[in-house]
Amino acid sequence: MEIFLDTGMVDEIREAAKWGVIDGVTTNPSLIAKTGRSQADVIKEICEIVDGPISAEVIATDAQGMIKEGQELAKIHDNVVIKLPLTEEGITACKWFSDNGIKTNVTLCFSVNQAFLAAKNGATYISPFIGRLDDIGHDGMQLIDEIRTVYDNYGFTTKILAASIRHCTHVRDAMMVGADVGTMPINVVKAMFKHPLTDKGLSQFLADHAKANA
Ligand code: E4P
């Protein structure tokens, strides 16, 4: 499973990029708003740090507006992926982008039927939001599992990008059900490194080494 960082904060991206495990970045209007900068500036800078797919979301809600905005975003860098909401207008725009060779990430997906429509129109990525489904008492991971089955049944190549990941158990479960990508905040990536037995074992090794070499 590829790991994308879900943030607009370039310092975080720089820090995580050093570990060598980050394959791409996703942003959304809320994450960009937190930076206090323009989306174009943030996306440009991210593209200089990470050589992989970088999702930038449109604000327009009509297909023509999304196409216009997406074309401008796509000019920023070859790695820019146009993020579109899962609405009739977003799915219409998705078809235009796939027909014109521009990569898309269809976002705010909460059902397998929605994921099916995005794949039919050639979405590069579908983003089911696990955490937000869990928040309302649904089972986010079950949705990833269902989409995996449906995409495999029909041979769709749209990549399943598990989004709204909140903790390491989400990451583990997303890998177990075959998500292609997981996008997550930096604290979740940091937590993936951790295990108390690793820390305990390392302390012991270092203590034994120091004793033997005292
Ligand atoms: C995905 O692309 C979204 O930006 C993100 O994963 C949403 O996560 P949240 O539900 O924690 O806001």
Q: ipTM of this predicted complex?
A: 0.97
Q: What residue owns the CA closest to ligand 1's atom 1?
A: 163
How many angstroms is it from 164 CA to the middle of ligand 1?
4
Q: Is 83 in the active site?
A: yes
How many angstroms is it from 163 CA to the middle of ligand 1?
6
**Each residue of 94-137: pLDDT tens digit?**
999 999 999 999 999 999 999 999 999 999 999 999 999 999 99
pLDDT at residue number 173: 98
Distance CA 59, CA 136 (A): 25
Please give the structure tokens belonging to residue 37: 């900068």
189 Cβ closer than 6 Å to some ligand 1 atom? no
Pocket-testing residue among 28, 106, 110, 133, ligand 1, by greatest number of atoms within 8 A of Cβ:
28
Mean pLDDT of 170-191: 98
If one counts every other C-beta atom within 10 angstroms of the C-beta of residue 156, the result is 19
Domains, in order of start, for the chain: 2-212 (3.20.20.70)
Ligand 1 atom at minimal distance to the Cα of residue 28: 4
Identity at 52, one-letter amino acid code: G
Distance of CA 59 to the CA centre of its chain: 18
Q: What residue owns the CA closest to ligand 1's atom 6?
A: 164
Average per-residue pLDDT in the chain? 98
Ligand 1 atom at minimal distance to the Cα of residue 163: 6
Ligand 1 atom at minimal distance to the Cα of residue 107: 2
pLDDT at residue number 92: 98
**Each residue of 146-178: pLDDT tens digit?**
999 999 999 999 999 999 999 999 999 999 999
How many angstroms is it from 92 CA to the middle of ligand 1?
22
105 Cβ closer than 6 Å to some ligand 1 atom? no
CB 118 within 8 A of CB 157: no
| pTM of the entire predicted model | 0.97
The band of 31, judged by pLDDT with boundaries at 50, 70 and 90, is very high
Q: What residue owns the CA closest to ligand 1's atom 7?
A: 164
Distance of CA 169 to the CA centre of its chain: 16
Ligand 1 atom at minimal distance to the Cα of residue 105: 2
